[in-house]
Amino acid sequence: MILSMTGYGKASAEFQGKKIIAEVKSLNSKALDLSTRVAPAYREKEMEVRAMITQALERGKVEFNLWTEQQDQTGACPINGELAADYFRQMQDISARFGIPAPADYWPTLLRMPDVLSHSEVQQELSDEEWNVARNVAEQAIAHLVAFRQQEGEALQRKFEEKLDSIAALLAAIEPYEKQRVEKIRQRIVEGLTAIPDVQYDKNRLEQEMIYYIEKLDINEEKQRLANHLRYFRQTMQDGHGQGKKLGFIAQEMGREINTTGSKSNLAEMQNIVVRMKDELEQIKEQVLNVM
């Protein structure tokens, strides 16, 4: 079963008057693009968190947040004045050195700077007990995201099967027009020759040229290769997750065969079918970018 790269997970737990919350979300990406924001209390464990995410998620643009909220906080959130003043001095220095216009009001920016607002002015040493709770919360959030990816993967696979069935049906629908095409080409050429006054032509030579021309327009090989690609796409989906790039390559090959079929069709009805095949394939290509 394939997995989607799109997912979301969130988990929380309470520990000694505080709520520990982890949230993780992912979108598609060619590789693992990981961004983490960890509460100051757990910053020493950030590398452990990143290793945990890397092992579990493998690929995708991933954003992970781990923070705490005080359950028993009744007063206003304290402002770390010394830190705010330090930020203020740095901002003024940068403004003066690089000629950047200073803002009319520094407060909105200062209050958004890291750790200026804090429920606890004194950072206590992280205990093993608290970290075990926080790590479990992070693992739960990641597990929820993986479950989300599995559900999305199942939906994607159903969608792919539907599109593959549609392309296969359209491929079969081309066959009745192939014999008509040969006869129409022959008729069009003969009519063109007879329309020319006093034209003389060798019927045997015309027949040879017709055979050569029709052979160039033969699409049996393209049809066979496209049918093989459809089967291979289905087989690859059954190989499990981590097949997204491979499915993308197969979809590209399917596109080549469909394009060649269209260029050789030389019949409006067949070309209309090819256009519908291209539309179904484009939908596969769009969604395959989300596959792990």
- The per-residue pLDDT for range 128-141, each reduced to its tens digit, is 999 999 999 999 99
Looking at this protein, which amino acid is placed at residue 5?
M
Residue 1 lies in a domain: no
Residue 25 lies in a domain: yes
d(CA 154, CA 158): 6
The percent of residues above 90 in pLDDT, for the chain, comes to 53
Residue 148 sits in the same domain as residue 241: no
Residue 105 sits in the same domain as residue 158: no
> How would DSSP label each residue in 115-167?
TSB-S-SS-PPPPHHHHHHHHHHHHHHHHHHHHHHHHHHHHHHHHHHHHHHHH
Residue 208 lies in a domain: yes
Residue 13 sits in the same domain as residue 145: yes
Residue 203 sits in the same domain as residue 110: no
DSSP assigned state of 4: B
Residue 275 sits in the same domain as residue 163: yes
β-strand pairing of 32-38 with 18-27: unpaired
Residue 128 lies in a domain: yes
Which among 152, 168, 201 is the end of a domain? 152
Q: pTM to 2 decimals?
A: 0.71
Residue 78 lies in a domain: yes
Residue 168 sits in the same domain as residue 132: no
Average pLDDT for the chain: 87
- Residues contacting 247, CB < 8 A, separation 6+: 2, 233, 236, 237, 288, 291
d(CA 173, CA 13): 58
Residue 2 lies in a domain: no
Chain segment 45-81, per-residue pLDDT in tens: 999 999 999 999 989 999 999 998 877 655 567 788 8
Residue 145 sits in the same domain as residue 162: no
Residue 117 sits in the same domain as residue 218: no
Q: Is the pLDDT of residue 22 over 60?
A: yes
Name the residue range of residue 254's domain: 153-288
Highest mean pLDDT out of 90-94, 144-148, 207-211, 260-264 = 144-148
Chain segment 179-199, per-residue pLDDT in tens: 777 677 777 777 776 777 776
Looking at this protein, which amino acid is placed at residue 254?
M
Nearest CA to 288 out of 148, 144, 153 is that of 153
- 217 class by beta-carbon count within 10 Å (0-12 exposed, 13-18 middle, 19+ buried): middle
- Residues contacting 19, CB < 8 A, separation 6+: 12, 13, 68, 69, 70, 71
Residue 29 sits in the same domain as residue 117: yes
d(CA 107, CA 87): 11
Which among 101, 125, 152 is the end of a domain? 152
Count of the separate structural domains present in the chain: 2
Residue 127 sits in the same domain as residue 161: no
Q: Using CA atoms in the order 273, 278, 283, 289, what is the torsion angle rounded to 10 degrees?
A: 150
Count CB-CB contacts under 10 A for residue 265: 20
Which among 132, 152, 172 is the end of a domain? 152
